[in-house]
Amino acid sequence: MRRARLAAAVLVTAVVLAGCSTAAPAPPPPTGPAPQDPAVFEPLVITPLDQPPAPVRGTDGRYHLVYELQVLNAGPRAATLTSVDSLADGPGGRVVGSVAGPEVTARSLLVGDYTLPPVPVAEVPGGRTILLILEDVYDTPEAVPVATVHRVRATYGPLPPGQATFAGNFPTTSEQVTRQPVRADGRPPTVIGPPLSGPDWVAVNACCELSPHRGAMVPLDGRINGGERYAVDWSRFDLTARPIVDLTAGTQATFRGDPTRNEDYLTFDQPVLAVGDATVVAVVGDLPEAPPHQFLTLPVNDLGGNRVVLDLGNGVYAFYAHLRTGSPEVRVGDRVRRGQEIARTGNSGNTSESHLHFGLMDSPQPLTATNLPWVIDSLTYVGTVTPETVLTQPPPGPRSGELPLIYSAVDFPPVPPSS
């Protein structure tokens, strides 16, 4: 009886379809072999983060395009990325950047791993995701392609036990070219004045290597946010000390006297300056100082400690963090002028020792904003700090319109220029 009802249903469907059709009779089915699906397993799912980068001129005189790729290993075998090539304007384009071997590892950050400082990973377990913290460098802004795709090569470990038989078809090596390009943002970096004054300032965590800033990739507002991509931690050093960083003792030449006292750090209680004419939109000044090298337990919104946010106009906001308790000299709604002292450096918030965290962003909310590129219009490049000394290549001298790169030592004008 069931078979009869099924046959009737098929017959009714056939009649209905025949009644609705006005097309010519279908051709006979092909008699050759069925077409084969050419697809193969591509274990890596690679997508750029949705924060288009803009080329910015660094203190090396070159233009840096910094961005992140999200790499999901959707295969069962652990993956080791062996090389990543940046290709200008499509899969057949010229190679404009390349990292391989240990360089890939040095720029690989496992999502959900929040060690401080961030620890690079050499292997992507099956089902896990890494962020590739990438940077392509160009001699001129005209050389920067509108779009960049990436060729990623990888090898894979053994198949874990208990996998379905078809999982054996996953490759042991792969070469993939990304389908979603990284598109350069056409907006130029914002030109600002110095946020500090005087000599011997070092950009400790800065563009463009993996650092606590580039590694600050956390899930906020429905996305993984690179909220500190171009931010700088400014710390004052005694650049005549040798070594500048004592790796054996675990100390650096940032204090004179007692390393347990904030007041003995060279950065502490220095004037913090408005980088442009602006309106004050946020001020916090009542949080306590942290003892040097002791991290306080703080809610997420207070990780920056005492802070000031300035509205520079055109959708650009300046963020100053870790200010000295009680030092902000401005209130919300105040108008400030470029070079005006707005606070003093301190050691409040999530910080190991006194420094000024500074960056630009596209909204007044530091955690969820997109970090924006910027350049300073007046500084003197001193060199690049290593643990042993200060390297003077490229040559020191006055600079304008450059972003201090990581470990760059600079002098700012002692008297900020007025606008």
Residue range 140-153: average pLDDT?
96
CATH number of the structural domain spanning residue 365: 2.70.70.10
Distance of CA 211 to the CA centre of its chain: 9
- Among 242, 221, 198, which residue's Cα sits nearest to residue 341? 198
- What domain range is 246 assigned to? 190-412
Cα–Cα distance measured from residue 87 to residue 237, given in angstroms and rounded to the nearest whole number: 40
Number of Cβ within 10 Å of residue 281's Cβ equals 16
6 has pLDDT over 50: no
∠ CA 93-99-101, rounded to 5°? 135
- Residues 280 and 168 reside in one and the same domain: no
Last residue of a domain, one of 163, 183, 203: 183
Cα–Cα distance measured from residue 121 to residue 130, given in angstroms and rounded to the nearest whole number: 8
pLDDT at 1: 43
Listing DSSP states for 134-197 in one string gives: EEEEESSGGGS-SEEEEEEEEEE-PPPTT--GGGGGS-SEEEEE-SSPEE---SPPEEE--SS-
Asked if the structure places residue 3 within a domain, the reply is no
- Residues 176 and 287 reside in one and the same domain: no
Domain count, the chain: 2
Which tokens sit at 146? 């509108």
- Residues 224 and 172 reside in one and the same domain: no
4 has pLDDT over 50: no
Given a contact cutoff of 8 angstroms between Cβ atoms, the answer to whether 229 and 214 are in contact is yes
Cα–Cα distance measured from residue 196 to residue 414, given in angstroms and rounded to the nearest whole number: 9
Burial of 383 (0-12, 13-18, 19+ CB in 10 A): buried
What 3-state class would DSSP assign to 295? Answer: coil
pLDDT at 133: 95
Given a contact cutoff of 8 angstroms between Cβ atoms, the answer to whether 348 and 289 are in contact is yes
Last residue of a domain, one of 183, 215, 248: 183
∠ CA 312-318-323, rounded to 5°? 135
Per DSSP, 104 falls in state H
pLDDT at 73: 98
Which tokens sit at 212? 């606590």
- Residues 144 and 286 reside in one and the same domain: no
pLDDT at 213: 92
Cα–Cα distance measured from residue 121 to residue 123, given in angstroms and rounded to the nearest whole number: 6
354 has pLDDT over 60: yes
pLDDT at 3: 40
Look over the chain and give the mean of its residue pLDDT values, rounded to a whole number. 91
Asked if the structure places residue 16 within a domain, the reply is no
Mode of pairing for the β-strands spanning 374-376 and 190-192: parallel
27 has pLDDT over 90: no
Global confidence as pTM = 0.88
- Among 67, 405, 388, which residue's Cα sits nearest to residue 204? 405
Which tokens sit at 329? 């000299």
- Residues 149 and 289 reside in one and the same domain: no
Number of Cβ within 10 Å of residue 367's Cβ equals 16
- Residues 118 and 263 reside in one and the same domain: no
pLDDT at 29: 64
Given a contact cutoff of 8 angstroms between Cβ atoms, the answer to whether 328 and 273 are in contact is no
Last residue of a domain, one of 183, 212, 227: 183
Residue-wise pLDDT for 84-139, tens only, equals 999 998 999 999 999 999 999 999 999 999 988 899 999 999 999 999 999 999 99
The residue type of 25 is P
- Residues 114 and 204 reside in one and the same domain: no
pLDDT band at 11 (very low <50, low <70, confident <90, very high): very low
Which tokens sit at 398? 């006055």
Residue range 359-385: average pLDDT?
96
356 has pLDDT over 70: yes
The residue type of 14 is A
Cα torsion 410, 379, 57, 71 to 10°: value is: 40
Listing DSSP states for 229-245 in one string gives: TT-EEEEE--TTSSSSE
CATH number of the structural domain spanning residue 83: 2.60.40
Asked if the structure places residue 305 within a domain, the reply is yes
197 has pLDDT over 60: yes
**H or E segment at 10?**
helix 2-20
Given a contact cutoff of 8 angstroms between Cβ atoms, the answer to whether 338 and 416 are in contact is yes
The residue type of 117 is P
Query: Among all chains, which residue has been given the structure tokens 């003197």?
Result: 380
